[in-house]
Amino acid sequence: MYQHHPLPGPRSDGEQPDHAVAILSVEGHSPGVRIVDVNTDYQRLWGGTREEWLGAVPIVVQQQAVNQQIFTQLHDALNLLSQDSRNTFEGLGGREVSRRHDGSRMHIEWRISAMGANHHGPMTLVLTQRDVTEQMENEAQLEQLATTDMLTGLVNRARFDAVLKNELNRQHRYARPLSLIMLDIDFFKDINDSHGHDAGDQVLVNLAVLLESNLRRADCCARWGGEEFMLLAPETSLEQAVQLANKIRVAIKTASFPIPGSVTASFGVVEVHPQESVKSVMKRVDNALYLAKEKGRDQVSPIEVLTSAKQA
C-alpha cells in the first residue's frame, strides 16, 4: 500500500514531509496503541521502514514524557466511551516542539481522530502530522517585525505600550516598585542639520546598543519616537531609577559617536503610584523630561508633578 522510506529527511523535491499518516489500532479498555500502517511521509518524518513500524508504538512527538501524556489523554478519552454509550470521541490534537534526527528543533502539528463511526469495541484511529516549523518561524518573524523598531532593533512604541500595561497591572496586584524613565537626545535636530540624517541615524543605533548594555534583563527599552526612548524598570524604586538614569546619562556623555564632540541626553524619571493609570504615568514622566530640558539639558529630573506646559 505504501512505499518504503528507511531514512528520515526531505522528499526528492527537497520539500519537508507534508502529511504524515499512521493508522492505529487501540482497544477501548487498554492503553495499548499500535501502528497498523503508515504512509511514506510518516517514514520520512520519523525514519524506518513500513515493516519496522507495523505493530510499533507511534511517535506523536519526539519527547517521551509528552508522548506518554498524549497517550494517557487518549486512553482517558476512550475510556469514557465504554462508560456511557452517549459519549463520542471528538479526537485530540495540538502543536508540540520536537526534534529531528539531526537534533534540530521542529514544530509538529498533530491530530488523532477516529476512522469511521465511534463504537465501543476495538477502534481504528488515524494519526496525522505536519511539520509546521517554517510556518511557526514565519509567524515569529512577522511578530518581531510588528513589535520591533526597524532602525534600532529595540522594542517599538506599540509593543512598549502593551508591556507597560502588563507591568502596571502587576504593580497594582502586588504593590511592587515600578519606575519609568524617558530620555531625549539633546539638540538632535542640530545633529541632523549639521552632519546629515545618516549620521543622525547612526547616533540612534549606537545609543540603542549603549542603552541595552546598561540595563538588566527584566528591564524593557523602547524607541518611543524620533530621538525619544523609554526605559521600564520593574522592581525599581524612584531613587534606584534616578541612579540608573544618571549612570546612563554619564555613559552617553562619555561614549564615542560618529560625529565630532559629545552627545548628551535629558532624562525624566517617575515611580508608578498605586492604582495609577497609563495616561497619568506617561504625563508625569513627560513633564519630568520637560523639566530636565528646562534646567539646561544633560540632566536627570525625578520631579513628580509639574504645571508647566510641554516643550515643543
How many angstroms separate the CA atoms of 173 and 274, rounded? 9
How many angstroms separate the CA atoms of 290 and 285, rounded? 9
How many angstroms separate the CA atoms of 264 and 255, rounded? 9
How many angstroms separate the CA atoms of 177 and 236, rounded? 5
Torsion of Cα atoms, 33 then 39 then 43 then 46, to 10°: -50
Question: Which candidate, 238, 224, 216, places its Cα nearest to that of 301?
Answer: 238
- Residue 273: other Cβ atoms inside 10 A: 13
Q: Which three cell numbers stand for residue 129?
A: 502530522
Question: Which candidate, 170, 172, 211, 207, places its Cα nearest to that of 186?
Answer: 207
Considering only the C-alpha atoms of the chain, give the largest distance between any 2 of them, rounded to a whole number of Å.
Answer: 84
- Active-site option among 227, 271, 276, 304: 227
* E strand spans, the chain: 20-26, 33-38, 92-99, 105-114, 123-131, 178-185, 220-225, 228-234, 265-271, 300-301
How many angstroms separate the CA atoms of 222 and 245, rounded? 15
Contact criterion met (CB below 8 Å) for 107 and 98: yes
Q: Is 188 exposed, middle or buried (0-12, 13-18, 19+ CB in 10 A)?
A: middle
Contact criterion met (CB below 8 Å) for 115 and 127: no
How many angstroms separate the CA atoms of 16 and 138, rounded? 16
Known catalytic residue at 137: no
Catalytic residue numbers read 227
